[in-house]
Chain A
Amino acid sequence: MHELPIIARVLDLATASAPPGAEIVRIRLRVGYLCDAEPLWLERYFRTAARGTQAGSAQLVVTREAGPPPDGAAAKAGAPRGTADTPTAAGASEPDRSAADAAFGYVLESIEVRDAPQRNGP
């Protein structure tokens, strides 16, 4: 269920990043290893949500982070979600490949666009 607002936000970010009139042909999304978001379902929701937008025929490429290393990385990932000792900084949401990002992050990496055809003369 949480996939819907995530996909809506992906579309918002992608269309805001695309030049006006350009066709978005590919969207690359990276998801953390602890995100409950299966690429198959994300793509399915995306197909429906993107209909009629600049990304109507775009391919959504979802890459899932590899699982945690066996050194308690999940614990580090949990911390920025808010412990009393470690207040979350705004920067924790930045795509900086931090532990939290690798675990819980959804990062729109890039979009591939085909520019609108140029008009020659008036």
Chain B
Amino acid sequence: MSDSTRIIDVRAAVLQDNDRLAASLKEELRRGGTFLVNLMGSPGAGKTSLLAALLPLLAGRFRPAVIEADLDSKVDADALEAKGWRAAQLRTGGFCHLDAFMVRRGLAELGLVDETDTAPGAPGEICAAGIAGDAPGSAGRGRKIPPYDLVFVENVGNLICTAQVDTGAAMNLALLSVPEGDDKPLKYPPIFAMADAIAVTKADYLDRETFDLAALRGRVAALKPDSRVIAVSARSGEGLAELAEFIAERAAAWLSGAARGDRRAGPRHL
């Protein structure tokens, strides 16, 4: 018996299944005209409170909904539904982060996608449960309007694992509350390197001696120079309009891209 060994070249991305599912979900949402925002932050950073304060500012321009994710309970979804917002709750059990598969389940509960993945390029699968009407940019072509065109997915409270897995969101928004400290980008760089914007929550506690906002901006810029840092307070309302505008601009760009895509795609979407 030979004791020799041989090397087999694999060169496979370990998370390739999720990455493909996330890319397919992103494309499906783009075609359907829904902007998905992945909201990440520590437990207690104020994710649900921020949503409750932010949604009224966005509701005039969008039809928003929320997907909540927690290890257990539906406390957050109940809190938002009590305020009149549509909220689906995902229970992750012991899972410390959301992946594209789980987010797809939440979107299916909102009636935005089918539960099963569809191959990129296959039209007509999204918004099967949507409200009949024409989507923006496709007037008169009979395409269905999605029931919600702006969906926030509130990830599991966690600064580490949530940054490791692509959810399929078009925008990643990280929250850092003032009590957590301005040194978090030094301690947990991945989430600040992948987020498109950082909302510094509980800004009403902002004390320049103990929380240096300029230093935080510098630390974030070192990781992602084009990231936007916005101080907000769900209690006082500070910064909420700026954050809402930032999200609206990103969403509008995304949705107009979807409309341009429609024109390119032509009859396939009729």
| A residues whose Cβ falls under 8 Å from a Cβ of B | 1-2, 6, 9-10, 13-14, 17-18, 25-26, 29, 34-37, 72, 74-75, 77-78, 81-85, 87-90, 92-95, 101, 103-115, 117
Contact = CB atoms under 8 A, between A and B. Distances in A.
B195 A17 contact: no
Contact of A95 (B13, B164, B168, B170): B13
Given A82-B169, A84-B254, A2 B10 contact: no
The interface centre, meaning the residue of B19, B120, B171, B224 with most chain A CB atoms within 10 A of its CB, is B19
A110 B7 contact: yes
A28 to B, nearest CB: 9
B26 A75 contact: no
Nearest to B1: A117
Given A13-B14, A81-B166, A87 B225 contact: no
A119 to B, nearest CB: 11
B222 to A, nearest CB: 8
A75 B188 CA distance: 15
Contacts of B26: 82, 87-88
B89 to A, nearest CB: 21
B189 interface: yes
Contacts of A95: 11-13
B11 A88 contact: no
A77 B226 CA distance: 12
Contacts of B47: none
B172 to A, nearest CB: 6
Contacts of A29: 14
B194 A81 contact: yes
Contacts of A103: 193
A73 to B, nearest CB: 9
B147 interface: no
B196 to A, nearest CB: 5
Given A1-B95, A72-B225, A109-B10, 10 more contacts: A2-B96, A17-B8, A34-B194, A36-B163, A75-B223, A77-B194, A87-B26, A87-B30, A93-B23, A95-B13
B58 interface: no
B23 A1 contact: no
A93 B194 contact: no
Nearest to A31: B14
Interface string B248-265: 001101100100000000
B16 interface: yes
Interface string B186-209: 001110011110000000000000
B170 A104 contact: no
Given A36-B163, A87-B27, A117-B1, A94 B193 contact: no
Interface string B211-247: 0000000000011111100000000000000000000
B4 A114 contact: yes
A8 B227 CA distance: 33
Contacts of A78: 172, 193-196, 223-224, 227
Contact of B10 (A14, A84, A88, A93): A14
B170 A87 contact: yes
B22 interface: yes
B6 interface: yes
A35 B13 CA distance: 13
